[in-house]
Amino acid sequence: MNNDTLFSDLYSSPIGLLEICGTDDFITTIQFLDKKCSDKMTLHQPLTRSWMLGNETKKQLETYFSGKRRVFNLPLHLQGTPFQLTVWKTLQAIPYGETRTYEDIAKAIGNPKAARSVGQANNKNPFAIAIPCHRVIGKNKQLTGYAWGIQSKQMLLNLENKNGKK
């Protein structure tokens, strides 16, 4: 990504306010704006014109929350360590309405002892919902570790479970 102007836009989801950041060519983050993630908030140029990619992202989020979208098709600008990138790519392969354990992801990336590192990579995921780290659960099928709270994770899983049974 070059020095393109960064824009941000807001989307009011059923589980909280999301900030969508990016350029004319890429989405750079989709993050919940609440007190739990204030350290992740950044200031970008205020939106002073229609931002086509931001509008498309909001449209895809809307169809996700209405149960009509199962996969996001957005140009995400992924930046992270090689390990994080591998984990995030693997998360995108988890089918809608299904879950995997941290250990499952570690095995899927060929590093079966890296479950904790998978959890750390999930915590650094810059694309809430679009890269579905909410679909990763503890080995005892317990909900653990979601940067925006277990209640939000449960709500997303409930939404997908409800809409996945069509």
What is the per-residue pLDDT across 64-116, written as a single tens digit (0 to 9) for each? 999 999 999 999 999 999 999 999 999 999 999 999 999 999 999 999 999 99
**Distance from C-alpha of 103 to C-alpha of 124, rounded to nearest angstrom:** 18
Distance CA 43, CA 32 (A): 14
pLDDT, residue 27, reads 96
**By C-alpha distance, which of 106, 99, 103 is closest to 154?**
99
Q: Which of the two residues, 49 and 22, has the higher pLDDT score?
A: 22
pLDDT digits (tens, 9 = 90+) for 113-150: 999 999 999 999 999 999 999 999 988 888 877 777 78
What is residue 29's predicted lDDT score, i.e. its pLDDT?
94
Distance CA(72)–CA(148), nearest Å, equals 20
Check residue 34 and give its pLDDT. 66
Angle (CA) 137-74-45 rounded to 5° is 105
pLDDT at position 43: 46
**37 an active-site residue?**
no
- Strand stretches in 2-47, DSSP E: 7-13, 16-22, 27-32
Query: Is the Cβ–Cβ distance between 139 and 118 less than 8 Å?
Result: no
pLDDT score of 41 more than 90: no
C-alpha pair distances (Å), 75 with each of 62, 64, 91, 142, 163: 17, 17, 16, 32, 25
CA distance 46 to 65: 26
Contacts of 104 (CB under 8 A, 6+ apart): none
Of 26-30, 139-143, 155-159, the least confident: 139-143
Marked catalytic residue, from 27, 133, 137, 159: 133
